[in-house]
Amino acid sequence: MKISTSIITLILFIFYQNISNAQIKVFEAERLDSTRYSNTSIQDSIFIIYKGENNKSTITLFANFNNIDSLNFEWSKFNKNKNDFDTPFRIVSSKRADTIFYGTKPGEDMNDYENGYKVHIYNNKKIDTTFTVWVWYQDFFINSITITSSSCKKIELFADTTFQDTFIYYDLSTPNKIPVKIANKVDIKWVMDPQTNVDTGYRAKVSLPAPVEPTTYLAFGIDYYGYNRVRSIHIDETKLDNKGYPILRAVKSDFSAIHGIESENNKPSNDTAINIEAPHGVMFFNESKNGNLFEWVFYNHIDWRKDYSDTTLLISDNFEPLDSIYYQHPVKHSDFQTSPEGYDVKLSIWGPEYNNYGERCLDTMRKVNFIIVDTTQFPNHYLQLPNVFTPNSANNNYFYFMKTGDEAPVKSIKYFSIKIYNRWGNKIYEYEDNTGNWQERGKDKPGWDGTTRVGTKAKPGVYYYAITAEGWDGRSFKVGGYVHIFY
């Protein structure tokens, strides 16, 4: 083919923009390279076709010349034994363009068509030119992904590739063979789903964190020309190693919890501490992955266990604890100034057996100070309690210490008793509760509504009270004072 370097450059550019504009086109080609003849002013195109599965592919060569009618086409194929083109195998006349098509037939190897092709185009109007191209069937596949090893921490994968990195063509001005040697081997980029953020670099063998849930690994093979192939392997509970044990063997421990004012659909994040008032139940949710055996341990901080008997509240070997854990003992800040303020919770999980010795992967999640129980609080002076109320009024119709707020907070009380006397010393009202609440049956609000023991309304005036309370941490409170009733 006699064509200048500048025209070759133009053809290369046009190929990438629109492959159909070349003088000889190979429709199936996905990449284009250029020859490197010793005479640098004469260069031809190398069309690269990537084979399909099972070596199935086609080749379509299309030739024309400036869309001129009434052209003659003579096609020749390069003979590697003679280092020259054979006599034409196809001659057609009076056409604008001509096409050569090869399709894979049974027993046919498309490598037979990996060769040089020349077309001589001419007519009686002094058009006489020749174009030459080379067709390279690139053999590039990721044949398989092999799991070379799997442990509680790592999994190793290997992508086996088939890659033809050399193509031979011939210098048309000399009898020399010229190899196209692809620099480097195929690069493999690994991607994981759902762990797509892991950067593995570019290598065929890779060591990755062991999966703790069904995971798909994808190997993207990228060659010198930027063409890529992809192959995947999915690992789930059914994937076994060569000894019949699960490859998915690693585990990840995690849990969350809620208490009464939250719901399962509106629970705090896994690491958010649960702040509760004693006594209060806390429900825990196992959010671990790939566990078969479980052990929950609910206990005070390790500093407490040196001196107190309530070291372990509960141990459960169920996926979820059998019951909500009932926390009753607030931390005594006055006694333990340097101790942490809450309870620790630990969840240990074991995965499936992975060898003949019955060994399992283990992971433990311990959350320090995860349950914080409010310390006992109760008014210790009558000035912290209300001193006036109006029965039957719209707003201030009960005598009651506030459960919330800064004036008279009450928290973590397990026993409460109140006795109220008139100014002559007669007891007109009393209440006792072993749960720390001041809520009488049949009353819509807690506290005293001014009704006496005999069912009548107390008269306006001043009344005296004596309150006894005990906290879940053993602290006792006695408060005396007075309250005015107005109507």
pLDDT digits (tens, 9 = 90+) for 341-382: 678 888 999 999 999 999 999 999 999 888 888 878 888 888
Mean pLDDT, residues 97-104 taken together: 87
Does position 430 have pLDDT exceeding 70, yes or no? yes
Does position 155 have pLDDT exceeding 60, yes or no? yes
Nearest to 437 by CA among 427, 447, 425: 447
Does position 112 have pLDDT exceeding 80, yes or no? no
User: pTM for the complete prediction?
Assistant: 0.69
Beta bridge partners of 50: 138
Beta bridge partners of 465: 420, 481
φ and ψ of 8, to 5 deg: -60, -45
Mean pLDDT, residues 127-140 taken together: 90
Q: What is the DSSP letter of 227?
A: -
Instruction: Say what the pLDDT of residue 18 is.
Output: 37
As a whole number of Å, the CA-based R_g of the chain is: 43
- In one-letter notation, the amino acid at residue 220 is F
Mean pLDDT, residues 61-78 taken together: 93
Mean pLDDT, residues 62-75 taken together: 92
Instruction: Say what the pLDDT of residue 402 is.
Output: 64
Does position 12 have pLDDT exceeding 50, yes or no? no
Contact partners, residue 90, CB within 8 Å, separation at least 6: 73, 74, 75, 98, 100
Question: 141-155, 204-218, 332-346: which has the minimum mean pLDDT?
Answer: 332-346
Mean pLDDT, residues 413-429 taken together: 93
Architecture in CATH for domain 382-485:
Sandwich (2.60)
C-alpha distance from residue 391 to each of 169, 266, 464 (Å):
107, 39, 16
Instruction: Say what the pLDDT of residue 176 is.
Output: 87
Contact 342, 373 (CB under 8 A): yes
pLDDT digits (tens, 9 = 90+) for 445-459: 888 989 998 889 999
Angstrom distance (rounded) from CA 395 to CA 428: 23
Does position 150 have pLDDT exceeding 90, yes or no? yes
Higher pLDDT, 268 or 145: 145
pLDDT tier, 240 (very low <50, low <70, confident <90, very high otherwise): very high
Instruction: Say what the pLDDT of residue 261 is.
Output: 59
Strand-strand pairing, 274-276 and 360-373: parallel
Q: Quote the percentage of the chain above a pLDDT of 90.
A: 38
Does position 37 have pLDDT exceeding 60, yes or no? yes
pLDDT digits (tens, 9 = 90+) for 287-337: 999 999 998 888 765 544 444 444 566 677 888 886 667 777 665 545 545
Q: Where are the domains of the chain?
A: 5-138, 140-161+184-235, 255-373, 382-485
Instruction: Identify the residue whose tokens are 């789930």.
Output: 236
Please tell me whether the peptide bond between 211 and the residue prior to it is cis, using omega within 30 degrees of 0. no
From the number of C-beta atoms within 10 Å of its C-beta (0-12, 13-18, 19+), residue 405 rates as exposed
Instruction: Say what the pLDDT of residue 53 is.
Output: 63
φ and ψ of 304, to 5 deg: -70, -35
Instruction: Say what the pLDDT of residue 298 is.
Output: 80
Does position 106 have pLDDT exceeding 90, yes or no? no
Contact 164, 149 (CB under 8 A): no
Higher pLDDT, 359 or 42: 359
Report the CATH superfamily, name and number, of domain 5-138: Immunoglobulins (2.60.40.10)
Question: 61-70, 419-428, 442-451: which has the minimum mean pLDDT?
Answer: 442-451
User: How many angstroms from the chain centroid is the CA of residue 395?
Assistant: 53
Say yes or no: domain 140-161+184-235 is CATH 2.60.40.10. Answer: yes
Angstrom distance (rounded) from CA 349 to CA 352: 10
140-161+184-235 and 382-485: same fold? Answer: yes
